[in-house]
Every structure is written in structure tokens, then in C-alpha cells.
Amino acid sequence: MSVPVVGVLALQGAFVAHERALRSLGVSTRQIRTPADLANVRGLVMPGGESTTMSKLLDSSGIFDEMDRLLADGFPVFGTCAGMILLAREVLDGRADQRSFGVIDIGVRRNGYGRQVDSFETDIPVQGLSAPFHAVFIRAPKVERVGDGVQVLAQYEGVPVLARQGNVTVASFHPELTADARLHEQFLRHHDLI
């Protein structure tokens, strides 16, 4: 049986840390920098970074349109921090030229938890995990609206920070910055990738 290949968007952000987490779970990874790199991958992780820059890079690389088509066909994706912003239906304070895929029915505010100096870490209970997950928030987006079809998997102070809708999972925080791969594993298992 062949090992599934999961793509990691490698335009900006901590994509190497995501690759490390995925590989620790026995899957192969591929860095995604062009539309052709998406061929034969079974899922995708979109890391954190700067969402407006990532939006521009997705356009200039030609990846945006191919990803848009794949997402419409049910392609599994896990977006963290900026990845959450790029997947959200509504970006409450986005720039006029910033594009998002609009595939999870949430409204998010970029840097909703504050600037870099306001970054923090905390343990949060996560649906489906037996022990809390240590979450690292760095200039994190804040979810301000959740649609009816969205399943909230974790909250911090009553605000959703981990959510899923269909083939899309998003996190406000950076699970790749810990040694705990349980959220990557949860994503992979949910989509039968391990």
C-alpha cells in the first residue's frame, strides 16, 4: 500500500515545521510552490504567515485557481493562522486586493488577538483529544462569526479557535510550533489519510 502524499503550501511561513509533524505520522509530504506541485497530493496544509502576502503569492504563482478548483471538489485542507484567514468566507478587516477561498463559513479578524507583543500560549481542550492541546497564538486571527454548518472543535475564552466544515479544518493558532502532532493526526484520520 502506498503512503499518501500531503502537500504543504511553501510560499511563506513555518511550512517545514508542518512537514516535520506530518512525517512523524508516517505520511510523505511535498512542498507546494506551483500548480503542478498539487498533482497527486491527497490533502494540503496551509501554514501561518502574512495573509495579504500569501494571497498575492497564491495569485502570482498560479496556485490560487487550481486550489479553488480542488477545494470545490472536496480536497482536504488544514489551514493554520494565515491559512485560516485565506480559507474563511469573510475577512472582516482584509485589504481590498486580498483574496480568500471562502470555503469555511466563518468571519475572522486578522491579528484579532493583538500584535506580535500580544502573542501567548495556553492549553485548550479539543474535541476528540483526551488531554488539552498546548496552543501557540502569534498575531492570531480571531473568529467573530460562525455559520450553522461549522463544527467548533476548540474554544479559547468562549471564542472558536479550531473549527471544521466538510473538507476544511482551520486553527487560529500554530500547532506546528509544538512537538504535539495530535491535531495533524486528527486532520489526517478525519480524511482517511493515515
Q: Which of 19, 66, 176, 185 is catalytic?
A: 176
| Active-site annotation holder among 19, 66, 174, 184 | 174
Q: Of 19, 81, 185, 191, which one is the catalytic site residue?
A: 81
Whether 81 is catalytic: yes
Q: Is 94 left (phi over 0), alpha (psi -120 to 50) or beta?
A: beta
Length of the chain: 194
Question: Which secondary structure element, helix H or strand E, spans residue 185, and what is its range?
Answer: helix 182-190
Q: List, in order, residues 6 or more apart from 183 with CB less than 8 Å away.
A: 78, 126, 133, 162, 171, 175
Any idea which residues carry the catalytic annotation?
81, 174, 176
